[in-house]
């Protein structure tokens, strides 16, 4: 290339010396002073071009430039990578930046915090927690609203889009132990909590303000990192958030935090599992979908501020042939689940379900025989009757 440039070439086509070779890439480090472009083509194509030139032919070529899909141009990727420096330095204190061990098999949450930072930084006014959000869509040459980006599932408060719970971690087939996969589950619960803070306190586009649920959530996450143990597990991280809320907000959001974590299997009776060489592992985990005795059940809203009362979910909504009903409510007796039309007639009923099952996986209802329209899902517990509206749309 240097010789070609010195002799007035405006570009270089390089091809392999073997006419049968289909290799189409090459590398090199000596690029000092090179100011002309170059491409590499296979020997098979190169010898065809060479033969045409030797026969006196004229070759016409054109190039179409496209975007450079590099992570340096993806705001989410930049925020993610910068976020590692934050979580690494805050966890364990500034003198110990090795408290987030990324070895496979650990409950390493570093990738999760970084995904959270990326999602948080790229949230725009008018966004909705139910919508699907992705990481590195630009870097992956994906549509912003379609994905899939670099993760297995979109980030969303909608359980039908992202149903990760604590038991997603483990070593059996289909479970997560690789650090990015583990972090994806951690980011999921942080993203849920972020939106509940927004629904409760509103969204403030001024990131330097003290108001707004998004800003309060970021402060909570950063304070939690400062308070948690070295090489934490998910429940250590949960408890650090609760401690931070207690110190900063006099535990004003404790019930909300517990409800969000319980929904994802990280509730009061959950067990963090094994700890090896000081690091929380993905083995020995036990889910828990319950709340502490003193905690109140909170509505985890998708549209408005969270309030005390019904914590009943029915999704997808609109539903077609299958509807899942789930709740974090307790009940001394099996829960009765029914679907009613708008005149109060029961059109579908499930077999009574235990509170534990309703908290963990919920109950699935076959709605394929229902006509399209608006219905009411009713759940009867020993603590009362709770309802929510759903749309059946075939």
User: What's the pLDDT tens digit per position in 311-330?
Assistant: 688 888 899 999 999 987 77
List, in order, residues 6 or more apart from 266 with CB less than 8 Å away.
165, 166, 189, 234, 235, 238, 287, 288
CATH hierarchy code of domain 312-392: 2.60.40.10
Model's pTM, two decimal places?
0.72
For the cut 60, the answer to whether the pLDDT of residue 63 exceeds it is yes
Which of these, 347, 322, 345, 333, lies nearest to 385 by C-alpha position?
Answer: 333
With beta carbons less than 8 A apart as the criterion, state whether 358 and 326 touch.
Answer: yes
Tokens of 212: 């707004």
> DSSP labels for 89-153?
HHTT-TT----S---TTB---HHHHHHHHHHHHT--TT--TTS-B-SSTTTTT--TTT--TTSSS
Catalytic residue, from 80, 84, 180, 394: name it.
84
What are 326-374's pLDDT values in tens digits?
987 778 899 999 999 988 899 999 999 998 888 888 999 999 999 999 9
Share of the chain above pLDDT 90, in %: 56
CATH 1.10.390.10 fits 71-280, yes or no: yes
Rg, C-alpha atoms of the chain: 27
List residues bridging with 133 in a β-sheet: 155
394 is catalytic: no
* Domain coordinates in residue numbering, the chain: 2-54, 71-280, 312-392
């Amino acid at each position: 290339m240097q010789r070609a440039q010195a002799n007035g070439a405006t570009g270089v086509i390089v091809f392999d010396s073997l006419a049968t070779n289909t290799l189409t890439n090459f590398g090199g480090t000596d690029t000092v002073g090179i100011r002309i472009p170059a491409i590499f083509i296979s020997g098979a194509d190169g010898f065809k071009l060479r033969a045409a030139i030797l026969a006196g032919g004229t070759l016409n070529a054109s190039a179409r430039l496209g975007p450079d899909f590099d992570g340096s141009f993806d705001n989410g990727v930049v925020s993610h990578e910068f976020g590692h420096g934050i979580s690494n330095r805050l966890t364990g204190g500034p003198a110990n930046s090795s408290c987030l061990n990324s070895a496979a098999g650990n409950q390493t949450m570093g990738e999760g915090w970084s995904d959270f930072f990326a999602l948080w930084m790229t949230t725009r006014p008018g966004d909705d927690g139910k919508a699907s959000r992705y990481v590195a869509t630009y870097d992956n040459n994906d549509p912003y609203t379609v994905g899939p980006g670099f993760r297995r599932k979109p980030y969303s408060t909608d359980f039908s889009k992202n149903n990760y719970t604590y038991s997603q971690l483990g070593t059996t087939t289909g479970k997560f132990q690789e650090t990015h996969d583990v972090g994806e589950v951690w980011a999921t619960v942080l993203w849920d909590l972020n939106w509940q803070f927004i629904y409760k306190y509103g969204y403030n586009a001024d990131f330097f303000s003290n108001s707004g649920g998004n800003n309060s959530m970021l402060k909570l996450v950063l304070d939690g990192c400062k308070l948690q143990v070295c090489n934490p597990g998910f429940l250590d991280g949960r408890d650090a958030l609760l401690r931070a809320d207690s110190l900063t907000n006099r535990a004003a959001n404790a019930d909300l935090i517990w409800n969000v974590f319980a929904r994802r299997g990280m509730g009061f009776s959950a067990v963090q599992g094994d700890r090896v060489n000081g690091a929380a592992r993905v083995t020995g985990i036990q889910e828990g979908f319950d709340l502490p005795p003193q905690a109140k059940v909170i509505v985890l809203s998708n549209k408005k501020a969270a309030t005390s009362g019904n914590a009943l979910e029915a999704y997808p909504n609109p539903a077609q042939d299958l509807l899942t009903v789930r709740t974090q409510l307790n009940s001394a007796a099996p829960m009765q689940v029914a679907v009613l039309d708008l005149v109060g007639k029961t059109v579908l009923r499930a077999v009574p379900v235990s509170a534990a099952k309703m908290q963990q996986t919920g109950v699935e209802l076959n709605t394929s025989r229902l006509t399209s329209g608006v219905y009411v899902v009713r759940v009867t517990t020993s603590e009362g009757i709770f309802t929510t509206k759903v749309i059946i749309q075939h």
